[in-house]
Amino acid sequence: MSLRRVLTITRRVMRQILRDRRTVALLVFAPMLMLTLGAILFRSDPAPIPLGMLNEDQGLTSPVIGTIDLGQRITDELAASDALIVVVLSHDEVDDRLRDGTVEAALYFPEDFTTYFVENRKAVLDLRLEGSNPTRSITITAHVTQAAMRSLASLVGTGFGIPGPQVTEGETALPVSVETTYLYGGEEFDTMDFIAPVYIAILSMFFVFLLACVAFLRERSQGTMERLAATPATRIEIVLGYMLGLGLFALIQVAVILFFTVWVLKIHYLGSLSLLLLVIAFLAIVGVNMGILASAFARTEFQVIQFIPLVIIPQVLLGGTFWAVSDMPGYLQPFAYIMPIYYANNALRDVMLKGWGLADIWPNLAILVGITGVLIILSSLMMRREVA
Amino acid sequence: MDLVVETYELHKYFGSIRAVDGVDLSVRSGEIYGLIGPNGSGKTTLIRLIIGLLRPTSGSIRLLGEVIPNKAILAQTGYMTQASALYEELTVRENVTFFAEMCGRYDPKWREEVIELVDLEDRSRSLVRTLSGGLRQRTSLACALAHKPRLLLLDEPTVGVDPQLRATFWSYFRNLADTGITLIISSHVMDEAERCDRLGFLRQGRLLAEGTPAQLRSQKSTTTLEEAFLQFAVEATEGGL
């Protein structure tokens, strides 16, 4: 064995990599980008949660202690919390406000809330949750319970007789219980149900992106693109042809994944499966066009792989997949709105978790169609560089 | 006589490189026109300009009577690139069909004739992936012919082809010309130039001379085209200085 030969090869390999400046830049830049995004997202303080409040509590007036209004006390306590923003609602608007997302939960105090507490030594909170995000539901329930406990504690010493935790039959019973109802979903919805729709979307977009990118690249490197350009075929015809061909494959892939998810993994879903298929098909078409566009910037198949950290991972991190866009720092939010996956995520969650129909999700679909149109035009224009 | 290709004061610059530098070319209907010149003389650029794959820096081109660029006219022209640009995952027949359909002129009968013409009947169902270089080159020619073009532009079709196949290719070309198809063939091999009806000598993006092989030889009183080319080149260099 000759060390010299080994080192000669070493030198050649290093020289080759250094000649490909983009690879060198990417080796350093891509991990930094991903870590930075991760750090920002993990460290960012979640935005306050809008909590609807419907307080009909009449309070209780007693000759001994004067008037006490427990509903008002809890409301004040909740309003003081940084994690929540209290929005006063009227009786009729609860479900509408939950549906349009301006509140994420609604707390209801009936007329006899204080009276019931005084008589039974137990506060029963009626909390209605939007319910499509299980993690979110748990957070809200916890905040509300804490606030109620604190306001009850403030009654200590008023002569009102607040019970501490009582031990009954070996269990610690708190003087507060929360009865939750859900607008969508319910307790049987777990985090996987929440993640599954967007997981499917990411996977299908990812594969079809790579497929389109490599197929188009190959077309150029094997010279058939030049030959195609010498036929009456126009650029837009070529792009649309690819879009349909790969789009159909994506559709088959999506259908298989979807049915597997629903029937084998037993993911809960509410809306219609065909609507889900439609949304994912739109996203796949976006993926094809992104691939065609990206292929213009790649000379080798290795460079196609480099698009994964640059194009796909930011979509996953910023598109509202794991972090709600409203929880992201303000300067990152505009990026979410340019990620096609953000709109697909919205539509998919609306269908799977809320059971919404086409009439409700069409704005998100329309934006996806718009993005597709822009990408088709851009990828046709990019072809101008190599094809007349 | 009908002119199939005319170029007028054609220039194409890539930055400071003058790839095509004032070419006036005329190709007549039904002839085999040889674009002869060394590597880097502008043959490929000229062919790509004629077919509209490149936009000229200045000057104009008429192709089959139409001003270029004109996408529709490309249905009547066939183009064979230097590398045998084919879809590896498709069979010979599927490749031919594809390019015919791209021109909107798919005819199964003609397809079989084309495949027969390049002697690929036995391999028409083979995947291109599995073919040798010579067979690929034949498939590539079949693809260029797939849509019954009136004009065929072949960019160094015989580069890397063994002498036997090269002779076969030239017999194909002659057969095609006999059916009325015009061929423009680029080459840097002088013995191929002899087989053309007319030639254009190309050097450093300029057309040094145009004519039949006999005319070009007699103009410089040489016995071979190679000598004639060199004489034209010397003359151009001296004239240029």
ipTM of the complex model: 0.88
Residue A378 and residue A343 share a domain: yes
| A162 and chain B in contact, CB less than 8 A | no
Q: Are the beta carbons of A228 and B79 separated by less than 8 Å?
A: no
B172 vs A148 pLDDT, higher one: B172
Q: What rounded mean pLDDT belongs to chain A?
A: 82
pLDDT in tens, A3-34: 888 888 888 888 888 887 877 887 778 778 87
Q: Is residue A144 part of a domain?
A: yes
Domain boundary among A182, A207, A233: A182
pLDDT for residue A108 is more than 70: yes
Domain boundary among A182, A199, A232: A182
Residue A212 and residue A334 share a domain: yes
| Chain B residue whose CA is closest to A237 | B102
pLDDT in tens, A253-292: 888 888 888 888 888 788 888 888 888 888 888 998 999 8
Domain boundary among A182, A202, A219: A182
Task: Give chain A's domain count.
Answer: 2
**Chain A residues close to B99, C-beta within 8 Å:** 227, 231
* Cα distance between residue A85 and residue A42, in whole Å: 22
Rounded average pLDDT over A351-380: 89
CATH number of the structural domain spanning residue A142: 3.40.1710.10
Q: Are the beta carbons of A227 and B85 separated by less than 8 Å?
A: yes
pLDDT for residue A172 is more than 70: no
**Chain A residues close to B79, C-beta within 8 Å:** 227, 230
Residue A161 and residue A83 share a domain: yes
Percent of chain A with pLDDT over 90: 4
* Cα distance between residue A108 and residue A126, in whole Å: 5
A170 vs A305 pLDDT, higher one: A305
pLDDT in tens, B79-134: 998 888 999 989 999 999 999 999 888 899 999 999 998 999 999 999 999 999 88
Whether residue A63 is preceded by a cis peptide bond, meaning omega within 30 degrees of 0, is no
Q: How far is CA A137 from the centre of its chain?
A: 15
Residue A208 and residue A132 share a domain: no
Ranges of each domain in chain B: 86-148
pLDDT in tens, A45-76: 778 888 888 888 888 877 766 777 888 888 88
Residue A130 and residue A105 share a domain: yes
* Cα distance between residue A123 and residue A118, in whole Å: 9
Q: Is residue A28 part of a domain?
A: no
Q: Is residue A25 part of a domain?
A: no
Q: Is residue A331 part of a domain?
A: yes
pLDDT at residue number A160: 53
* Cα distance between residue A253 and residue A173, in whole Å: 51
For A223, which of B69, B85, B103 is closest by C-beta distance? B85
Name which of B45, B53, B86, B143 is nearest A229 in CA terms.
Answer: B53
Q: Is residue A14 part of a domain?
A: no
* Confidence label for A299 from pLDDT (cuts 50, 70 and 90): confident
Residue A69 and residue A164 share a domain: yes
> E strand or H helix at B33, and its extent?
strand B32-36
| Chain A residue whose CA is closest to B100 | A231
Residue ranges of chain B whose pLDDT lies below 50? none
* Cα distance between residue A129 and residue A89, in whole Å: 14
pLDDT for residue A158 is more than 70: no
| A234 and chain B in contact, CB less than 8 A | yes
pLDDT at residue number A125: 84
The DSSP line for A299-317 is SSHHHHHTHIIIIIHHHHH
pLDDT at residue number A10: 85
* Cα distance between residue B104 and residue B76, in whole Å: 10
Q: What residues in chain B have their Cβ under 8 A from chain A's Cβ atoms?
A: 51-55, 69, 71-72, 74-75, 77, 79, 81, 83-88, 99, 102-104, 143
Q: Is residue A112 part of a domain?
A: yes
* Cα distance between residue A243 and residue A288, in whole Å: 6
Helices (H), chain A: 3-19, 21-43, 70-80, 94-100, 113-120, 134-153, 191-221, 224-229, 235-259, 273-295, 301-305, 307, 313-318, 333-337, 340-354, 358-383
Question: Is this structure's pTM higher than 0.80?
Answer: no
Residue A194 and residue A62 share a domain: no
Residue A200 and residue A115 share a domain: no
- Structure-token pair, residue A107: 């707390």
pLDDT at residue number B75: 92
Count of C-beta atoms within a 10 Å radius of residue A320: 24
**Chain A residues close to B52, C-beta within 8 Å:** 230, 388
Name which of B75, B208, B207, B200 is nearest B149 in CA terms.
Answer: B75
For A224, which of B54, B69, B86 is closest by C-beta distance? B86
For A230, which of B51, B87, B88 is closest by C-beta distance? B51
Domain range enclosing A246: 190-383
